[in-house]
């Protein structure tokens, strides 16, 4: 049996799966936690990856490995390959002002023209999540660190490079999927837009070479992150592209991921440009494209509400299912860390419709689940509005383990929802890419598609209508 390994270095944790390269069967797995926060020293990811690899039985008998990772993180390296400062993550909003400036600059002061120019250039409109805005923030607020920045990498790029033994800045590599989330790579041309990078940072540092979907990225160096070296390295990808590969998403499939981020993504054979900025036109990990909508507030809305009520996730779910649809008029707009879509980085969460009848744990639990799902329903609507077919909606991520989320999703979204068994689909996709890198060829290996459970419910349009009223009312006040 030939073994391959896949990594998911996500916001909250690092997961490693070891699978049979031919059948895709799971053989071993491990995981380790990441520190909290929106600014993290990459050394913490390296330590977690080492721990997760060890707990997954090591890489000594693994023929190939690939890394999936949280997107957009700004990893700045000096000319000796040392990290210049802790990485700003996708969910850090301090560069919101830089995003506004970059839009205005490309539009010569005309916001609409600026949005269109960015969408046409790189498939996205700057918001604080994207790397290009973080580099502008760095240039504005930490000019010495900006000047020391000889190379810029993404979390998955940096971990792949560390696995290879940090063999010099010119050995940094990435893939189309993650490059498409930087704000300085074009999914239309497949090339970097170093002019936009230089506009942001003030100079154009070394950038990782963008590899093909199954192009070899070197070999694991013994001792660096794994006791045993020799395994081939795949290019890796951003977590959402890896998840789509892991779940074998095809055009017409929409993947709803409820992790730290809430993501609505689909596979397209053509690149997207949405000047509203709602849909980001990313690339996927197979040579296609991955238009997606991302919210900042997803599984942690459930974490926070469970903490407020002093219950665990199972009890939160049970409570939510005892309250009526619409939670008696209690609406939670869950912008607990600001929000990315809609672009309201300074917003806070809001509860509206609190009455004596709704002031109880069940109504609060229901409002939290419905508020989370309404934000994703808005994303699904935006994806469809761009002409992407919606034939199947698949629900994954830690939040999908909630029975209330699974049962309320079809009602709020208005479509059936297919739920595969709880799993690590990002790491699975990375493992499948590793098998593809090992085998070569134009397409990834065919692994058995996972079974799914279908959840259906009568649509409850009044829930989204009421949510939209409260969402827009709170927007007017912030
Ligand atoms: N049964 C559950 N119900 C609701 N949320 C859950 C459940 N199990 C885990 N979670 C939440 O899912 C999140 C982790 O999901 P995951 O997809 O691994 O996130 P990420 O990939 O962003 O690190 C955590 O916030 C965790 O609390
Ligand atoms: O910002 C995005 C995608 O644009 C997020 O999807 C991050 O990639 C974080 O992923 P998770 O930690 O939630 O998996």
- ipTM over 0.95? The verdict is yes
- The pLDDT of residue 140 is 98
State the residue range of the domain holding 398.
248-416+456-477
50 and 196 in a single domain? The answer is: yes
Q: Is 363 annotated as a binding residue?
A: no
- Name the domain count of the chain: 2
- What spacing in Å lies between the alpha carbon of 350 and ligand 2's midpoint? 23
**Residue 259 maps to a domain:** yes
222, 240, 258 - which closes a domain: 240
- What spacing in Å lies between the alpha carbon of 241 and ligand 2's midpoint? 10
146: CB partners within 8 A, 6+ apart: 135, 138, 139, 201, 202
157 and 236 in a single domain? The answer is: yes
**Residue 466 maps to a domain:** yes
110 and 134 in a single domain? The answer is: yes
Cβ–ligand 2 distance for 72 under 6 Å, the answer yes
185 and 254 in a single domain? The answer is: no
257 and 136 in a single domain? The answer is: no
Pick the closest to residue 247 from 456, 61, 68 (CA basis): 68
**Residue 423 maps to a domain:** no
**Residue 440 maps to a domain:** no
- Helix or strand or coil: residue 256? strand
- What spacing in Å lies between the alpha carbon of 297 and ligand 1's midpoint? 12
Pick the closest to residue 65 from 198, 192, 225, 193 (CA basis): 225
- The pLDDT of residue 224 is 65
How many CA atoms, within 13 angstroms, populate the side-chain half-sphere of residue 313? 13
CATH code: domain of residue 265: 3.30.420.40
**Residue 448 maps to a domain:** no
390 and 469 in a single domain? The answer is: yes
240, 270, 297 - which closes a domain: 240
How many CA atoms, within 13 angstroms, populate the side-chain half-sphere of residue 71? 30
Cβ–ligand 2 distance for 131 under 6 Å, the answer no
The Cα-based distances of 48 to 51, 159, 382, 415 in angstroms read 5, 11, 36, 38
Cβ–ligand 2 distance for 93 under 6 Å, the answer no
- The pLDDT of residue 227 is 78
Atom of ligand 2 nearest to the CA of 260: 13
- The pLDDT of residue 450 is 84
196 and 286 in a single domain? The answer is: no
Cβ–ligand 2 distance for 410 under 6 Å, the answer no
223 and 261 in a single domain? The answer is: no
25 CB neighbour count, 10 Å cutoff: 11
**Residue 427 maps to a domain:** no
Active site residues: 239
- What spacing in Å lies between the alpha carbon of 360 and ligand 2's midpoint? 32
233 and 267 in a single domain? The answer is: no
Atom of ligand 2 nearest to the CA of 280: 4
172, 207, 240 - which closes a domain: 240
Best mutation site among 399, 419, 424 for ligand 1, i.e. most ligand atoms within 8 A of its Cβ?
Answer: 399
Q: Tokens 């070479």 appear where?
A: 209
Cβ–ligand 2 distance for 393 under 6 Å, the answer no
Atom of ligand 1 nearest to the CA of 314: 1
- What spacing in Å lies between the alpha carbon of 412 and ligand 1's midpoint? 20
Atom of ligand 2 nearest to the CA of 238: 8
pLDDT tens track, the chain, 478 positions? 999 999 999 999 999 999 999 999 999 999 999 999 999 999 999 999 999 999 999 999 999 999 999 999 999 999 999 999 999 999 999 999 999 999 999 999 999 999 999 999 999 999 999 999 999 999 999 999 999 999 999 999 999 999 999 999 999 999 999 999 999 999 999 999 999 999 999 999 999 999 999 999 999 999 868 778 899 999 999 999 999 999 999 999 999 999 999 999 999 999 999 999 999 999 999 999 999 999 999 999 999 999 999 999 999 999 999 999 999 999 999 999 999 999 999 999 999 999 999 999 999 999 999 999 999 999 999 999 999 999 999 999 999 999 999 999 999 999 999 999 999 999 999 999 999 999 999 999 999 988 999 999 999 999 999 999 999 999 876 5
**Residue 321 maps to a domain:** yes
Asked if 15 contacts 31 with a C-beta cutoff of 8 angstroms, the reply is: yes
175 and 267 in a single domain? The answer is: no
- The pLDDT of residue 477 is 64
Counting ligands in written order, the one closest to the CA of 303 is: 1
**Residue 424 maps to a domain:** no
Q: Is 82 annotated as a binding residue?
A: no
163 and 111 in a single domain? The answer is: yes
Cβ–ligand 2 distance for 239 under 6 Å, the answer yes
179 and 268 in a single domain? The answer is: no
């Amino acid at each position: 049996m030939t073994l391959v390994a896949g990594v998911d270095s996500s916001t909250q944790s690092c997961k490693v799966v070891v699978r049979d390269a031919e059948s895709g069967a799971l053989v071993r797995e491990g995981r380790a936690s990441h520190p909290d926060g929106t600014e993290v020293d990459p050394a913490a990811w390296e330590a977690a990856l080492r721990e997760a690899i060890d707990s997954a039985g090591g890489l000594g008998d693994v023929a190939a490995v690939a890394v999936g990772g949280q997107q957009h993180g700004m990893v700045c390296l000096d000319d000796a390959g040392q990290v210049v400062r802790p990485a700003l993550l996708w969910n850090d909003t301090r560069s919101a002002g830089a995003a506004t400036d970059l839009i205005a600059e490309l539009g010569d002061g005309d916001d609409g023209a600026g949005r269109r120019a960015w969408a046409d250039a790189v498939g996205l409109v700057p918001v604080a999540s994207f790397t290009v805005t973080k580099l502008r923030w760095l240039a504005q607020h930490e000019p010495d660190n900006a000047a020391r920045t000889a190379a810029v990498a993404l979390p998955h790029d940096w971990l792949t490079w560390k696995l290879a033994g940090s063999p010099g800045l010119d050995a940094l590599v990435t893939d189309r999927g993650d490059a498409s989330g930087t704000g300085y790579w074009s999914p239309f041309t497949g090339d970097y837009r170093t002019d936009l990078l230089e506009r942001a940072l003030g100079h154009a540092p070394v950038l990782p070479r963008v590899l093909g979907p199954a192009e070899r990225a070197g070999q694991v160096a013994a001792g660096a992150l794994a006791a045993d070296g020799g395994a081939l390295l795949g290019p890796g990808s951003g977590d959402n592209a890896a998840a789509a590969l892991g779940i074998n998403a095809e055009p017409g499939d929409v993947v709803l991921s409820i992790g730290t981020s809430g993501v609505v993504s689909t596979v397209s054979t053509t690149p997207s440009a949405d000047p509203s900025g709602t849909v980001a036109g990313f690339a996927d990990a197979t040579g296609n494209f991955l238009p997606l909508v991302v919210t900042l507030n997803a599984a942690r809305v459930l974490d926070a509400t469970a903490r407020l009520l002093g219950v665990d996730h199972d009890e939160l779910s049970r409570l939510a299912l005892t309250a009526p649809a619409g939670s008696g008029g209690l609406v939670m707009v869950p912008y607990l860390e600001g929000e990315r879509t809609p672009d309201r980085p300074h917003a806070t969460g809001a509860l509206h419709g609190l009455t004596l009848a709704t002031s109880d744990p069940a109504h609060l639990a229901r409002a939290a689940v419905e508020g989370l799902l309404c934000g994703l329903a808005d994303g699904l609507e935006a994806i469809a509005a761009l002409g992407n077919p919606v034939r199947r909606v698949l629900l994954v991520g830690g939040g999908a383990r909630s029975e209330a989320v699974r049962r309320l999703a079809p009602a709020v979204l208005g479509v059936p929802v297919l739920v595969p068994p709880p799993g690590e689909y990002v790491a699975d996709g990375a493992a499948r890419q590793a098998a593809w890198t090992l085998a070569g060829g134009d397409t990834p290996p065919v692994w058995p598609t996972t079974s799914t459970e279908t959840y259906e419910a009568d649509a409850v349009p009044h829930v989204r209508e009421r949510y939209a009223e409260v969402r827009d009312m709170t927007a007017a006040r912030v």
